[in-house]
Chain A
């Protein structure tokens, strides 16, 4: 018995050349990337600043946290939710035709490839560039933020839509065909029930991400909680930044908890 085990162990697949090569490449890459670590000199009082920041964040400005006016955290959070919600919605709607165009099992290869390229290009452009473009359209404010969010969502959402479209079970369509269904019936009973849960789940997941990334919009003045947060941080008002951060973190945690529940329900049918 033991002999056989040892024999099997001795004849285990050995591709150490390949593994060594990978290891060398990875280590070389790491050393190479280590050369980029440069700072403008660690500010001598970096530690002190860090303590200031931490104490500010842990002593949030409660007045700001509970004011119900336009400047208060609750309203800003509500605005952020609205931007993320509508942005996700618009993005999810735009993604549907794009995804169907770029699904390789529905459209010819070249078309699908071009579609994928477009989606990747849309994904590559950083959010604040879109923000700038949309501010020209709508002026600064929540509307521009919403449009930016929607365009930023398109990349990831349509990528995941494509995956679920490519996973479609075509046998169902064939059996509906055999039963004499019309095209619309096939779409209604064969395709939609398969895609809807996936699509909704993706959109909800993206909503989470959008809510978290909403700070980016603040950079260009496109509404939401980002701008006050960045302003507060740039002017070292840490307790204010702390209040906003606490609000944001709690909100994201709650939304994440709810959305996970909904998604689990969707996945189980």
Chain B
């Protein structure tokens, strides 16, 4: 019985056959109050003002207007950064998702029975996951210098943490029969993991990696903003010069690329799962 039920005691109902049942009070009012309070607080702090929004929303479309029509002649200069972005995210996704496999193994309770190792690995993964990608990229540019290597590192770190969490959750749901049988026959943990668990999680793992890659292509286009290479670099430059028609072209190119990659990867994922 939680505090809430003590404050608002459950209603007792007598059924026709003389037995009594207790109906707990709905928690919805409490949730609604918390929700409302948070909303009001947020409106206060952020200065949300519908009137301003309605009055000045036209300004939003000013830049959008200048982006259309996009400047087609700018396309030849976009190819290289665009491919850089794709390469960055591809390499980063592969590195991150391969490196994380042993860590995911260490973080799953059904493979490793030592609680300390599991909790420590999970905490590490969570902390890496909460680090904003932009910050990772910025730190990487200080260490590796400006360029695509920094972006690749940032994406690898992000993929590492993201895939890690999904993978250990996936590993925990597999059928452990084969793993136990192999251990009983004298296989080491790693050997048993590779032969008994990897095949089971492989399809969903690959599917998640592809999904992550899709997202990374989109994300990689931001990283250039801090100097980590790719589309963001020229995007930042063109925005700085207010050449919005070129910006429109960059965005259009990105859109088409993302669309193609998503279509391919969705088809691949359908085959996998």
Contacts and interface: CB of A to CB of B under 8 A. Distances in A.
Interface of A: 29-30, 32-43, 46-47, 49-50, 53, 78-79, 81-83, 85-86, 89, 120-121, 123-129, 132-134, 136-138, 141-143, 145-147, 212-216, 219, 223, 226, 229-230, 233-234, 245, 248-249, 252-253, 256
Given A39-B147, A40-B147, 10 more contacts: A29-B90, A33-B90, A124-B251, A124-B255, A126-B222, A136-B60, A137-B52, A219-B134, A219-B225, A226-B134
A40 B136 CA distance: 18
A85 B258 contact: no
Nearest to A225: B132
Contacts of A136: 56, 59-60, 62-63
Interface in B214-232: 218, 221-222, 225-226, 229, 232
Given A39-B147, A129-B251, A146-B46, A34 B91 contact: yes
21 contacts: A30-B91, A33-B87, A34-B87, A36-B229, A37-B148, A39-B146, A50-B139, A50-B142, A53-B139, A86-B43, A86-B48, A120-B255, A121-B255, A124-B251, A124-B255, A126-B221, A129-B247, A142-B46, A143-B46, A234-B138, A253-B126
B94 interface: yes
The 4 A-B residue pairs whose C-beta atoms are closest, nearest first, are A36-B87, A33-B87, A82-B42, A39-B147
B80 to A, nearest CB: 9
Interface of B: 38-39, 41-43, 45-49, 52-53, 56-57, 59-60, 62-64, 83-84, 86-88, 90-91, 94, 126-127, 129-132, 134-135, 138-139, 142-150, 152, 218, 221-222, 225-226, 229, 232, 235, 239, 247, 251, 254-255, 258-259, 262
A150 to B, nearest CB: 10
B210 to A, nearest CB: 11
A234 B227 CA distance: 12
Chain B contact residues, majority secondary structure: helix
A124 B258 CA distance: 8
Contact of B143 (A49, A83, A124, A216): A49
Contacts of A216: 132, 134, 222
Nearest to A30: B94
A142 B255 contact: no
A86 B42 CA distance: 6
Chain A contact residues, majority secondary structure: helix
Nearest to B44: A82
Contacts of B134: 215-216, 219, 226, 230
A213 B126 CA distance: 15
B47 A143 contact: yes
A127 B131 CA distance: 18
A30 B88 CA distance: 10
Contact of B130 (A121, A138, A248): A248
A40 B143 CA distance: 11
A41 B145 contact: yes
A39 B150 contact: yes
B57 A137 contact: yes
A85 B42 contact: yes
A229 B143 CA distance: 18
A82 B127 CA distance: 22
A133 to B, nearest CB: 5
A120 B86 CA distance: 18
Given A86-B43, A136-B60, A229-B135, A33 B147 contact: no
Given A36-B83, A82-B46, A138 B53 contact: yes
Contacts of A89: 39, 42
A46 B145 contact: yes
Contacts of A34: 87, 91
Contact of B56 (A37, A138, A253): A138
